[in-house]
């Protein structure tokens, strides 16, 4: 009985979270706004968001109670004891993640009523996506061997589903006018999301089931049923696109019927999925002796590191790969749009972006990423690649410029649109604060000390989400820092070259200080993580940690030196551009028989001087 209540509350929590996210997506990116402000129909969607978020909150509270009762084998009334409940939601990681999601659901339910702009709606959408991802890190995906495969694929599955299922249900709830406007754009999102749902679902099933053994399990039957129904849903999607292609005579009545049936089927499959995630998959092989590496790092212990293994080992970090595939697909789409328009895009930028992406993949799923789980020295190499080398490639790839040149313009001349939203974000107060070179440096170098010289590092190393968070943090802080210093994309703040050089020298010295502090540390900073892995090679953990410090120093300074050279080159180039501009202007003014800039400026100073002299007489 209790396990049925766990599944039911999970189903309602998942479904209402999907509807909340689908409605937030519709409000932020699908329906028309008025110069970034919500339109009248926007107000209706706002209440859909608030109602579904409240449903999400209540069903999440029930899910916490039923899950706890199920774990303790107690009745629901017994777990209503505040002490028991408090220790579950504050001390037990499953309880903490479920509680986090519940709090965010309540936050969305309340704040969505105050939404007035598509900008804040987009922020609430991001917060909701983080909330639905949290429980995945504590689902039984976390207990299966290959963490990166099981957790990563389920993460993509849940996020893609929230766009696909949530989007279809939200569109079904819109009025006819909004549906007509939203569907063409949603159809693109739905296609990408459906592809992601299928691939991630199959990957997740493969991480849990070897079908040969599990053929007779109800778990496998449900997965197979889901696959079959998914094909029906894909057919619906195909019909969607056909109907939409029949411009100008789209049969909206048939379309609305199609969407309603599709939404109903999706709700049914969501129930099947909730059943799957609330019931243990058939165990793969329980006879195996305890494997510390597999249990803690989520992968087999690799042999002692050598050039070949570093180069060819590969343990796919599915979520990271998902993000990289999305980034590359969007970048290629942008370049294709430009090329089709007959505009040029420097191939150097595409190569630089591709190198940045490959470096991230190598340092997360490649040999570097694998060994970073098993030795501090290799972790530091991966950190330097993610935080220093890959970001330089990404920022010199000018992704923001590409987005600004290819994102869709306003659909009715009044709406802000996706491109307008990006421009608004780039010129926002937050962007101005973040791109302040001192702030960028503080985040870039300050987080080094916050991570490695507190217990944070040891805690982060223990879990897949910790590794994922560290990798994403290194990449984003590196991109911010190098965007401010050597970025070619538009920056709300024009940072003088001399300031950039001072900041780079500051970064070099802080980095050197950090590395020396690490090299001279006499205790391990990983909270016993590397020891718990019982690795059979490079047994002196402290020596390996010191090597990590030395690597941090050597590898950290090289990219900063490259950035220094690049800044000097940019400075000289800007100066020669400025000199050419002044020369061109002088020649033009001379041709017009007018004083050039310098002469005008001297004239202005003379006038000032004359006024002063007259004033003093
Ligand atoms: C090729 C098609 C699909 C496959 C192979 C697949 C497979 C899976 C697997 C293996 C899980 C993990 C279950 C667990 O935690 O043990 C899962 C979860 C789930 N699936 Fe799918 N799925 C597919 C399509 C869909 C579709 C089309 C929907 C909804 C319309 C859906 C809804 C869900 C939900 C709601 C969950 C639970 C997510 C959570 O834990 O929060 N799936 N699926």
Quick one: average pLDDT of 247-259?
A: 75
Q: Could you tell me how far CA 489 lies from the centroid of its own chain?
A: 20
Rounded distance between C-alpha atoms, residue 192 and residue 29, angstroms = 16
Rounded distance between C-alpha atoms, residue 246 and residue 238, angstroms = 13
Percent of the chain clearing pLDDT 70 (strictly above): 96
| pLDDT on residue 141 | 60
Determine the residue of 11, 137, 273, 279 to mutate for testing ligand 1's pocket, defined as the one with the most ligand atoms within 8 A of the Cβ atom: 273
Q: 284 alpha carbon to ligand 1 midpoint, in Å?
A: 19
Rounded distance between C-alpha atoms, residue 477 and residue 444, angstroms = 5
* pLDDT at position 609 over 60: yes
* pLDDT at position 4 over 90: yes
Using alpha carbons, select from 97, 116, 179 the residue that is nearest to residue 464.
97
Quick one: average pLDDT of 202-210?
A: 83
Residue nearest to atom 42 of ligand 1 (CA): 273
To the nearest 10 degrees (0 to 180), the angle between helices 82-91 and 93-111 is: 90
Residue nearest to atom 19 of ligand 1 (CA): 273
Of all atoms in ligand 1, which is nearest to the CA of residue 265? 30
| pLDDT on residue 218 | 87
| Per-chain mean pLDDT for the chain | 90
Using alpha carbons, select from 356, 370, 383 the residue that is nearest to residue 311.
370
Residue with tokens 């590395």: 515
| pLDDT on residue 425 | 92
| pLDDT on residue 385 | 95
Instruction: Note the pLDDT tens digit of each residue in 264-297.
Output: 999 999 999 999 998 877 765 555 677 888 888 8
| pLDDT on residue 566 | 82
- CB-count burial class (<10 Å; 0-12, 13-18, 19+) for 245: exposed
Quick one: average pLDDT of 203-207?
A: 88
Query: N- to C-terminal Cα distance for the chain?
Result: 100
> What are 269-272's contacts with CB under 8 Å, separation 24+?
269/226, 269/229, 269/230, 269/233, 270/11, 270/14, 270/15, 270/18, 270/161, 270/165, 271/11, 272/222, 272/225, 272/226, 272/229
Determine the residue of 201, 221, 235, 259 to mutate for testing ligand 1's pocket, defined as the one with the most ligand atoms within 8 A of the Cβ atom: 201
411 pLDDT band, cuts 50/70/90, is: confident
Beta carbons within 8 Å of 612's beta carbon, 6+ residues apart? none
Of all atoms in ligand 1, which is nearest to the CA of residue 202? 5
252 pLDDT band, cuts 50/70/90, is: confident
Rg (CA), the chain: 28
* pLDDT at position 138 over 70: yes
| pLDDT on residue 215 | 63
| pLDDT on residue 606 | 81
| pLDDT on residue 166 | 97
| pLDDT on residue 210 | 63
Instruction: Note the pLDDT tens digit of each residue in 217-244.
Output: 888 889 999 999 999 999 888 877 777 7
The H or E element containing residue 33 is strand 33-34
Name the DSSP letter for residue 30. Answer: I
Instruction: Note the pLDDT tens digit of each residue in 344-387.
Output: 999 999 999 999 999 999 999 999 999 999 999 999 999 999 99
Q: Could you tell me how far CA 609 lies from the centroid of its own chain?
A: 58
Instruction: Note the pLDDT tens digit of each residue in 147-183.
Output: 788 899 999 999 999 999 999 999 998 888 888 889 8
Residue nearest to atom 2 of ligand 1 (CA): 227
Rounded distance between C-alpha atoms, residue 117 and residue 122, angstroms = 9
Determine the residue of 98, 152, 157, 225 to mutate for testing ligand 1's pocket, defined as the one with the most ligand atoms within 8 A of the Cβ atom: 157
Quick one: average pLDDT of 63-71?
A: 95
Q: Which domains does the chain have, with CATH numbers?
A: 2-279 (1.20.1630), 301-585 (no CATH)
* pLDDT at position 309 over 90: yes
Looking at per-residue pLDDT, the higher value among 146 and 161 belongs to 161
Of all atoms in ligand 1, which is nearest to the CA of residue 274? 37
List, chain by chain if needed, residues with CB within 6 Å of any ligand 1 atom. Answer: 14, 139-141, 154, 157-158, 161, 165, 197-198, 201-202, 204-205, 223, 226-227, 230, 233, 266, 269-270, 273-274, 276-277, 281
Helix (H, G, I), strand (E, B) or coil at 195: helix
535 pLDDT band, cuts 50/70/90, is: very high
Let me know the angle formed at the C-alpha of 585 by 582 and 590, rounded to the nearest 5 degrees: 125
Q: 201 alpha carbon to ligand 1 midpoint, in Å?
A: 6
Instruction: Note the pLDDT tens digit of each residue in 415-469.
Output: 888 898 899 899 898 999 999 999 999 999 999 999 999 999 999 998 889 999 9
Is residue 151 within 8 A of residue 319, CB to CB? The reply is yes
Which parts of 408-449 are beta strand (E)? none
| pLDDT on residue 523 | 93
* pLDDT at position 213 over 80: no
Q: 273 alpha carbon to ligand 1 midpoint, in Å?
A: 4
């Amino acid at each position: 009985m209790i396990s049925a209540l766990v599944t039911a509350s999970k189903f309602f929590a998942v479904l209402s979270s999907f509807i909340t996210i689908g409605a937030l997506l519709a409000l932020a990116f699908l329906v028309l706004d008025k110069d970034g402000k919500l339109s009248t129909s926007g107000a209706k969607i706002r209440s859909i968001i608030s109602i579904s978020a409240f449903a999400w909150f209540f069903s999440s509270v029930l899910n916490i109670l039923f899950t706890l009762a199920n774990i303790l084998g107690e009745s629901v009334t017994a777990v209503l004891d505040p002490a028991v409940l408090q220790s579950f939601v504050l001390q037990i990681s499953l309880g903490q993640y479920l509680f986090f999601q519940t709090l965010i659901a309540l936050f969305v339910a309340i704040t969505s009523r105050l939404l007035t702009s598509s900008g804040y709606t987009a922020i609430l959408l991001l917060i909701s996506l983080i909330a639905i991802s949290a429980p995945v890190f504590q689902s039984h995906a976390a207990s299966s061997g290959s963490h990166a495969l099981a957790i990563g694929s389920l993460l993509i599955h849940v996020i893609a589903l929230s766009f696909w299922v949530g989007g279809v249900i939200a569109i079904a709830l819109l009025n006819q006018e909004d549906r007509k406007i939203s569907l063409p754009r949603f159809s693109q999102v739905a296609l990408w999301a459906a592809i992601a749902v299928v691939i991630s679902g199959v990957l997740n099933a493969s991480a849990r089931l070897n079908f040969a053994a599990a053929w007779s399990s109800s778990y496998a039957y449900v997965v197979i049923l889901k696959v079959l129904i998914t094909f029906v849903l894909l057919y619906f999607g195909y019909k969607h696109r056909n109907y939409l292609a029949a411009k100008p005579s789209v049969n909206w009545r048939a379309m609305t019927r199609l969407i309603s049936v599709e939404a109903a089927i999706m709700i049914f499959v969501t129930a099947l999925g909730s059943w799957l995630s609330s019931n243990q998959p058939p165990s793969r092989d329980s006879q195996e002796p305890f494997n510390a590496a597999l249990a803690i790092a989520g992968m087999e212990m690799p042999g002692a590191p050598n050039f070949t293994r570093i180069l060819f080992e590969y343990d796919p970090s599915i979520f990271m790969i998902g993000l990289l595939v999305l980034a590359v697909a969007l970048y290629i789409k942008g370049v294709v749009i430009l090329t089709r328009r007959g505009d040029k895009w420097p191939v150097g930028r595409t190569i630089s972006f591709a190198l940045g992406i490959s470096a991230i993949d190598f340092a997360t799923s490649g040999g570097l990423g694998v060994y970073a789980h098993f030795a501090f020295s290799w972790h530091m190499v991966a950190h330097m690649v993610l935080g220093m080398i890959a970001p330089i490639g990404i920022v010199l790839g000018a992704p923001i410029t590409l987005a600004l040149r290819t994102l869709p313009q306003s659909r009715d001349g009044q709406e802000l649109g996706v491109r307008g939203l990006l421009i608004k974000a780039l010129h926002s107060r937050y962007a101005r604060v973040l791109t302040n070179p001192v702030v960028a440096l503080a985040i870039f170098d300050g987080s080094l000390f916050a991570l490695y010289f507190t217990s944070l590092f040891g805690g982060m190393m223990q879990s897949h989400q910790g590794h994922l968070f560290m990798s994403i943090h290194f990449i984003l802080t590196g991109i911010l820092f190098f965007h401010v210093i050597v970025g070619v994309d538009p920056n709300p703040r024009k940072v003088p070259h001399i300031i950039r050089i001072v900041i780079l020298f500051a970064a070099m010295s802080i980095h050197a200080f950090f590395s020396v502090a690490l090299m001279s540390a006499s205790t391990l900073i990983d909270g016993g993580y590397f020891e718990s892995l019982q690795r059979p090679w490079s047994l002196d953990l402290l020596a390996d940690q010191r090597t990590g410090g030395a690597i941090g120093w050597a590898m950290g300074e090289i990219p900063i030196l490259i950035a220094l050279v690049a800044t000097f080159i940019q400075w000289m180039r800007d100066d020669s551009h400025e000199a050419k501009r002044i020369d061109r202007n002088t020649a033009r003014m001379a041709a017009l028989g007018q004083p050039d800039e310098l002469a005008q400026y001297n004239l202005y100073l003379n006038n000032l001087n004359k006024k002063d002299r007259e004033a003093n007489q």
